[in-house]
């Protein structure tokens, strides 16, 4: 899979890209419709400089709808105009939309031509999208200790609560292991789990294609949870466990890593173990999924109501016996030093 979400520019948008490089187009607004990047609108220059035209960006933005804007500058490189890549992700837009646009951004840059993009702007409010907001961004970049490109990307990720590492594009290497990319179905299932539309998601590794794919989803409860754990293959499970504790009704999200011992091949055991940590980190930090408890099991029979409650709410013993050092014998007197007996030769 060569794209982060499988979403690509449609033919009409590709053709427009080929026609907009002669300097007659100032602004291009792009959206996502029916799993395609589409041209929403465009504008010719209105003023004699790009600085005066910059406010055109704010006029085409919608309150709760993310979009991309390509804005032509006056500078050139290799006889081609340079462009500003503007990402609009308003705070009021649904998290699903934010994820989708953040995960497709790299694809659009590639389709348009990343070498023609001089700089990027990310905005979540109309104030940030204004010319004053742009000047503030420029001042921050020109500060004595500017953010590195990696730090700017991390700041953007944190603000959108999205990271394209969880997308279905590139395999992400870390010190803790390796994160296989998610398929579209797996990605959508995790989003639905986070939104409360699913209470159980099972993921599996496709070792040959090196992706994490959706194994199954269900509306299940703890009484039949054990039946969903394979006896001969490893799996990752996400389960929302409803229960009562000390009189209160509680729902907790549990990540279950099931590994049926040596019924699996060595390669499968190693890959599942290596992918677990990065997958968890991506789900929690990048998708915003809250995982209250992480559990490893050998088989599904361990998944009982009592077991899960004990894992979530361990019993605290208030009368733990303390180890008492035994007393020595009475009237033992002072310690005496003894010398080893010398051996005698007969």
Summary mean pLDDT of the chain: 82
pLDDT score, position 230? 92
Whole-angstrom CA distances from 227 to 140, 236, 247 are 55, 14, 29
pLDDT score, position 171? 39
User: pLDDT band at residue 66, thresholds of 50, 70 and 90?
Assistant: very high
- Which residues on adjacent β-strands are paired with residue 42? 28
Q: Structure pTM?
A: 0.45
Say which range, 65-69, 105-109, 332-336, has the weakest mean pLDDT.
332-336
pLDDT tens string 184-231: 899 899 989 988 899 999 999 998 888 899 999 998 889 899 999 999
Say which range, 97-101, 114-118, 313-317, has the weakest mean pLDDT.
313-317
Q: The dihedral of CA 58, 62, 66, 69: what is its sign?
A: negative
Say which DSSP state 284 is in. I
pLDDT tens string 276-325: 988 998 888 778 888 999 999 998 999 999 999 999 988 765 555 555 55
Domains and CATH numbers, the chain: 8-162 (3.40.20.10), 172-312 (3.40.20.10)
Which of 182, 174, 177, 179 has its CA nearest to residue 215?
Answer: 182
pLDDT over 70 (residue 252): yes
The mean pLDDT value for 245-256 works out to 87
pLDDT score, position 25? 94
Q: The dihedral of CA 75, 29, 149, 137: what is its sign?
A: positive
pLDDT tens string 136-193: 888 776 655 455 555 555 555 555 444 444 444 443 333 345 678 888 899 899 989 9
Which of 207, 201, 174, 176 has its CA nearest to residue 187?
Answer: 201
Q: How many CA atoms lie within 13 A of 64 on its CB side?
A: 5
């Amino acid at each position: 899979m060569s794209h982060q979400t499988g979403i690509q520019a449609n033919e009409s948008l590709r053709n427009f890209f080929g026609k907009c490089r002669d300097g007659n187009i100032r602004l291009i607004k792009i959206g996502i419709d029916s799993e395609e990047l589409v041209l929403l609108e465009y504008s010719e220059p209105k003023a004699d400089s790009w600085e005066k035209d910059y406010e055109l960006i704010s006029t085409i933005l919608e309150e709760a709808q993310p979009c991309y804007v390509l804005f032509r500058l006056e500078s050139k490189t290799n006889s081609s105009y340079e462009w500003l890549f503007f990402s609009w992700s308003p705070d009021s837009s649904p998290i699903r939309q934010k994820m989708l646009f953040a995960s497709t951004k790299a694809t659009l840059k590639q389709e348009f031509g990343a070498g023609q993009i001089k700089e990027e702007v990310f905005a979540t409010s109309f104030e940030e999208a204004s010319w004053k907001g742009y000047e503030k961004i420029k001042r921050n970049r020109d500060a004595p200790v500017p953010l590195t490109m990696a730090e700017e990307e991390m700041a953007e990720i944190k603000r959108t609560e999205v990271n394209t590492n969880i997308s279905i594009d590139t395999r992400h290497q870390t010190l803790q292991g390796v994160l296989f990319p998610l398929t579209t179905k797996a990605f959508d299932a995790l989003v639905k789990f986070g939104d409360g539309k699913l209470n159980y998601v099972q993921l599996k590794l496709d070792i040959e294609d090196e992706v994490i794919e959706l194994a199954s989803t269900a509306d299940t409860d703890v009484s039949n949870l054990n039946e969903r754990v394979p006896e001969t293959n490893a799996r990752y499970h996400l389960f929302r466990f409803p229960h009562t504790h000390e009189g209160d009704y509680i729902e907790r999200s549990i990540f279950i890593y099931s590994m049926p011992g040596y019924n699996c091949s060595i390669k499968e055991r190693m890959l599942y173990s290596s992918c677990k940590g990065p997958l968890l980190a991506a789900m929690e930090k990048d998708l915003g999924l809250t995982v209250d408890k992480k559990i490893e099991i050998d088989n599904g029979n361990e998944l009982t109501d009592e077991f899960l409650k004990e894992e979530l709410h361990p019993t605290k013993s208030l009368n733990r016996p303390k180890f008492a050092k035994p007393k020595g014998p009475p009237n033992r007197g002072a310690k005496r030093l003894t010398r080893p007996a010398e051996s005698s030769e007969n």
